[in-house]
Chain A
Amino acid sequence: MYAAHFAAGLALKGRAPRVPMMAFLIGAFVLDILWIAFDVLDVDRMPLNDWSHSLLMAIVWSSVFAVYFRRFGSRAFVAVWLAVFSHFILDLLVQGATLYPGASGRLIIAALVAEHAGILQIGLCVVLLGVYLYDARRASVPAWRALLVSSVVLALNLR
C-alpha cells in the first residue's frame, strides 16, 4: 500500500481546511516513517513491524502526532488523528496487522488479502480521491488542478 495513503490524506484534508496539507500527507505516512527509522536502527525485528504498525502502536503514534494540531481545534485533531490511523486501516486491508507488539497471530481480512490486493489498492485510491475531488469542487479549486493532483496520486500506484 503506497498511493492510497496519499489519497487518504487528501480525503481528510477537507475535514479540517485550516490544517496544512503537509500535515495530512506526512501524517498518513507517520507509521512508515517510524518503520524506516526503526528498521535502520534495527529496533523492530517483527515480521509485521509491530512497533510502528500494530493496532496499539498506531493508536499511540496517531495521538502523539495529532496532539500538535489541537491548536487548530478538536475537529482538526480528529482529522489529523484519522489521517495517521488510516495507514493502519489501509495496511490491514491488504496485508494484515497485529494487535500489539509481539502479539501472536495476525489480524486479517482474509477475503481481501493478497490475491485482490492490487485491485483493492487502486479501488481504495479512486474512492478516496473521489472524496478529495468533491471537497475540491466545494472549495472552488479549479477542476483541472484537482484532477492533476488526483492523477499524480493515481500514477504513484505504478510504483
Chain B
Amino acid sequence: MSLHDGIVELIFIIVPALVIDWLHRTSAGRRRD
C-alpha cells in the first residue's frame, strides 16, 4: 500500500467518525438545553 492509499484509507475511517461524533454531540447538546 502506498502512502497515498494509506491516507485515503484513513480518511474513510476518520471522516465518517467525525460526522457521527458531530451528530451525536449535537444531540447531547440539544438535550441539555
Q: Give me the interface of A with B, judged by CB distance under 8 Å.
A: 2, 6, 10, 13, 20-22, 25-26, 29, 32-33, 36-37, 39-40, 136, 139-142, 145-146, 148-149, 152-153, 156, 159
Contact = CB atoms under 8 A, between A and B. Distances in A.
B16 A156 contact: yes
A133 B24 CA distance: 12
A152 B1 contact: no
Contact of A153 (B9, B18, B20, B31): B20
Contact of A22 (B5, B9, B21, B30): B21
Given A36-B9, A142-B27, A26 B20 contact: no
B30 A142 contact: yes
A33 B13 CA distance: 8
What is the interface residue range for chain B against chain A?
A: 20 to 34
Given A36-B6, A141-B28, A25 B21 contact: yes
Secondary structure class of chain A's binding surface, majority of residues: helix
A148 B23 contact: yes
A145 B29 CA distance: 12
Given A36-B9, A140-B31, A159-B12, A21 B26 contact: no
Contacts of A153: 16, 20
B23 to A, nearest CB: 5
A20 B21 CA distance: 9
In the complex, which of the residues B6, B17, B19, B28 has the most CB atoms of chain A within 10 Å of its own CB atom?
A: B17
28 contacts: A6-B17, A13-B24, A20-B21, A21-B20, A21-B21, A21-B24, A21-B25, A22-B18, A25-B20, A25-B21, A26-B13, A29-B13, A32-B9, A32-B13, A36-B6, A39-B6, A40-B6, A139-B31, A140-B31, A141-B24, A142-B27, A142-B30, A142-B31, A145-B27, A149-B20, A149-B24, A152-B23, A153-B20
